[in-house]
Chain A
Amino acid sequence: MIRIPLRPLARVLEARAEGRNPAHIERENLRLRHEQMRDRSRRRAEWRLLFLAASFFMGFALITARMGLLAASPPIEAAAFQGEDIAAYRAEIHDRNGRILATNLVTNSLYAEIRYMVDGARAARELARVFPELDETRLAARLTDPSRRFVWIRARLSPEQVQAVHDIGEPGLLFGPREMRLYPNGRLAAHVLGGASFGQQGVSAAEIIGTAGIEHRLDARLRDPALAETPLMLSLDLGVQAVTAEVLDGGLSLLGARAGSAIIMDAHTGEIVSMVSLPDFDPNQRPAPPTEGDPTDSPLFNHAVQGVYELGSVMKAFAVAQALEERLVTTETMVDTRGPLRVAGFSINDFRNYGPQLSVSDVFVRSSNIGTARLAQMIGPERQREFLERFGFLRAAPIELAETTRALPQFPERWRELSAMTISYGHGLSTSPVQLAAGYAALVNGGTRIEPTLLRRPAAVPGERLISEGTSAIMRRLMREVVTRGTASMAEVEGFAVGGKTGTADKPNPRGGYYRDRVIATFAGAFPMNDPRYVIVVTLDEPSESSSGEARRTAGWTVVPVAAEIVRRVAPLMGLRPQGPAEIEAALRLR
């Protein structure tokens, strides 16, 4: 900036020459300079004011806009109360009628915070009085250890125990809310439900995880927060389940059997209405899995799903059905039953001699091994294998239980003629009762495959056709004849036309060969036979009946009366009306 000098020499000399006071010039210049300075600072001040005003305006505009937005938006509650949604974070399990099978209960867990602890030794002493199973000295050591901050004492307390702990009056003992899984029906349906235990634990909550059964298999569904309010509907009927368990338990103790199972399945939808395996356990206190001995002795073992056995003569139904389906025979075709039948160094015998020949229906009704093996010979191994595969006997049962994935059926790698013949009467192919039930459902329901399920499935589309309607009708008649004049005569139930097939299979000895005096007795059938609604499969492990003085182990004497009693008690519960003998006769003849 060029400053104008206050006393320019030229003008001073000029003024002196003219006799004016040169000081005026200096004042004049000073005035001009001040004016300039004033204008500059004024402009700057004006800018500042403008900037400030703009800033304020923007600020207020922002606040106004925000207020306007807030006023216009719908009111929302801030910060939902913590823990409200957690109340039911594992879905309940209901039976088909909405009765509770598994629910949650809020209890308390007990823990100690050492920094609030006043007298750890006394607290340990008092706690040991309330909970006798606690070790007082160990607990005292942990509660008085200054290096610890936090000690878990118990996972679940009853309300009385909570009060007792309150009464100790120790500020260091604190409660955390805990959801626990409760099975109000106790042992009923224990194998289906499985059990649950705590996973990750925190102070205010612990996750519940399923450890077995449907709780484990459908764990993700049960824990899904979106579905926590929707109970999981099973196909089981609690009443039917209770009666089945009661009757089977009675049968087990009367016949001295080690174990038993019973399945009742809807023949058209595959819904399992009742699944019982005995011995059972209380899922509220699920026992630890056995670490030694035979796992099948454990009450945890589900004989209906995990019990993969050679089921014996009940499998004859499939050989007969295939022979009829492929038009190799009719029910009247005579089959050679002279024994023993020797194939590849192995001889096949019958329970007793049935004479030189029997018709196909008599082979089934009187349960001839030789006759069925002859039918298998006609069918041939490849087609038999393919037929059984379509019935689902060569893969694990597709049922919603965790155990099923480990219960794989056993069958020969190379399916030769001898295998085919033994498999036709139920030896050489091991399956579980639930697979057998699914197979029988397909035989009697008109010939379409069903998928066994434990979930409510009101309407099921008919599956793949396995046998024709006609063959299915013949099988129904043959199964009915097994009861009216064959091996299952004790299955006659007044009012309900039961039909089915018995099977008595020698148990394999783990050291090779078969036991001579230990059998698995099975009854597989359906009712009412004129229009099958339900399939029933009952198995007993090592039963023996000795009312006549000698031990009888065949299915007809052991498992059949049990199955008949189950049908007699259960059929009215499932809404079936008893029919008169004439009515049944007429309905069966129509088909």
Chain B
Amino acid sequence: MRSLFYVLSALAVMALAVWAYNENHKTQQAMAEAQDLRREIRALREALGVQRAEWAYLNRPDRLRELAEMNFLRLGLMPLTGAQFGRIDEIVYPMPEPASWLGNSVEVMGEVMAHVPGAIEHTRGEAP
């Protein structure tokens, strides 16, 4: 009886030791993984900061203005002034030839202007 007890105790100690070793190993693994993740988070944060800075740099007003000027023929963007606001009764309805909206925006603007009484005189003075 007593020897059985000893054998069982020894087995239990061995089993516990294996279990403890495994737990320890898993903890170490988890910690190493956490550290890797932290390092990755830090690298990603740095990258994010760089991207945000670059986004802000690419979107700086000076550059956007230059780009708008360079692409004036394609985009027809002009500085926003009060003259570009319209009243609700100036809107032409029904819209003439909706397909032309996909074409050159300067042309489209011209067409719209032609339909708005007084609009041409309005903007002519403002054009650069």
Contact = CB atoms under 8 A, between A and B. Distances in A.
Contacts of A573: 80
B80 A246 contact: no
Q: Which of B45, B54, B80 has the most chain A CB within a 10 Å cutoff?
A: B80
A88 B45 CA distance: 9
B111 interface: no
Given A77-B34, A84-B41, A495 B61 contact: no
A206 to B, nearest CB: 16
Given A185-B61, A186-B62, A188-B61, A572 B56 contact: no
A77 B46 contact: no
Given A81-B39, A186-B60, A242 B83 contact: no
B49 A87 contact: yes
Contacts of B46: 87, 106
Interface in A258-317: none
A237 to B, nearest CB: 11
A572 B81 contact: yes
B57 to A, nearest CB: 4
A425 interface: no
A74 to B, nearest CB: 14
B38 to A, nearest CB: 4
Main secondary structure of the interface of A (DSSP, over half): mixed
B121 to A, nearest CB: 12
A571 B31 contact: no
B82 interface: yes
Contact of A568 (B34, B42, B54, B82): B82
A29 B70 CA distance: 127
B82 A242 contact: no
B65 interface: yes
Contacts of A185: 56-57, 60-62
Interface residues of B, number: 28
B65 A242 contact: yes
Q: On chain A, which size bracket covers the interface?
A: 35 or more
A495 B81 CA distance: 9
A572 B82 contact: yes
B52 interface: yes
A243 B80 CA distance: 10
Nearest to B64: A242
A445 to B, nearest CB: 22
Nearest to B85: A578
Nearest to A103: B53
Given A81-B39, A81-B42, A243 B82 contact: no
Interface in B1-52: 31, 34-35, 38-39, 41-42, 45-46, 49-50, 52
A572 B84 contact: yes
B60 A184 contact: yes
Contacts of A88: 45, 49
A347 B79 CA distance: 48
A239 interface: yes
B84 A239 contact: no
A104 to B, nearest CB: 6
B81 A568 contact: yes
Nearest to B122: A494
B82 A496 contact: yes
A80 B82 CA distance: 57
Contact of A242 (B45, B61, B80): B61
Contact of A105 (B41, B45, B53): B53
B89 to A, nearest CB: 12
B27 to A, nearest CB: 9
Interface string A80-118: 110110011000000000011001111000000000000
A274 B39 CA distance: 40
Contacts of A84: 38, 41-42
Nearest to B80: A572
Given A103-B53, A184-B60, A495-B82, 16 more contacts: A81-B35, A81-B38, A87-B46, A87-B49, A88-B45, A184-B56, A185-B61, A186-B62, A188-B62, A239-B61, A243-B61, A569-B80, A572-B80, A572-B85, A577-B85, A578-B83
Interface of A: 77-78, 80-81, 83-84, 87-88, 99-100, 103-106, 182, 184-186, 188, 238-239, 241-243, 246, 493-496, 568-569, 571-573, 577-578
16 contacts: A84-B38, A88-B45, A104-B49, A106-B49, A182-B53, A185-B57, A185-B60, A188-B61, A242-B65, A568-B81, A568-B82, A569-B79, A571-B82, A572-B80, A572-B84, A578-B82
Q: Which 4 A-B pairs have the closest CB atoms?
A: A242-B61, A495-B82, A578-B82, A184-B56
